[in-house]
Amino acid sequence: MKRIVIAGATSGIGLETARLCIREGWRVGAAGRRLEALEALRAEAPGQVEIEPLDITRDDATEHLARLIDRLGGMDIYLHSSGIGSQNTVLRPDIELQTLRTNGEGFVRMVTAAFRYFRKQGYGHLAVISSIAGTKGLGAAPAYSATKRMQNTYIDALAQLARMENVPIRFTDIRPGFVATPLLAQGGNYPMRMKTEKVARRILQVLRRPRRRVVIDRRYAWLVFGWKLIPQWLWERLKVRTKE
């Protein structure tokens, strides 16, 4: 029976993935800010789910993570599904800085804690949900796209570090396109929006049979391929944004 800890399991992709892991018979450690949502998830399978409220932007988040792992009886997989994002063409500083705190500082706080745990244990699978937004700088969401690029690079660096230290940790960088989650509920006309359940099913496949990097889904894989071919001078002249 696999033991997975999911940070950001209170809604969206994290919640749906947690439910699929429960159906697989795995032990699930669910973490997030909203205690009532965590308790509702535990009520679905009391014998398989342990919960711990935590805020990844707080210094004590790793202490809460350690308590959750102890109650779960250990951790084989860590899935980081916690993050925020906003369109912010007016560049409100509070939105940009909060995005940095959550997707940057909070991300580093949690994945390094998971890395240290797996390093000590001698094995593990560290998976993160980043985004195709890390492919290029999106003018409609500067901090979001920048932090997602940082997450891509950070996981690359941790993978190299594990190799340097000869520690058999598996890494997976999961890059979805637009997903119908509360994160997109703030408004906007997002093209090719995917259902949360579909994305969660693909994530479960990757957790069963780890891959180093995966773009969800095939349409977005082709989109990202095309983005990478666009010269920077041309990219800066494109109006890549959704309708608000």
Burial of 8 (0-12, 13-18, 19+ CB in 10 A): buried
Specify the amino acid at residue 184: L
- Whether cis (ω within 30° of 0) applies to the bond prior to 70 is no
144 is catalytic: yes
Number of continuous H segments (helices) and E segments (strands) in the chain: 9, 7
Question: Which candidate in 144, 154, 190, 220 is catalytic?
Answer: 144
> Is residue 64 a contact partner of residue 52, using CB atoms and an 8 Å limit?
yes
DSSP letters spanning 17-60? HHHHHHHTT-EEEEEES-HHHHHHHHHH-TTTEEEEE--TTSTT
Catalytic residues: 144
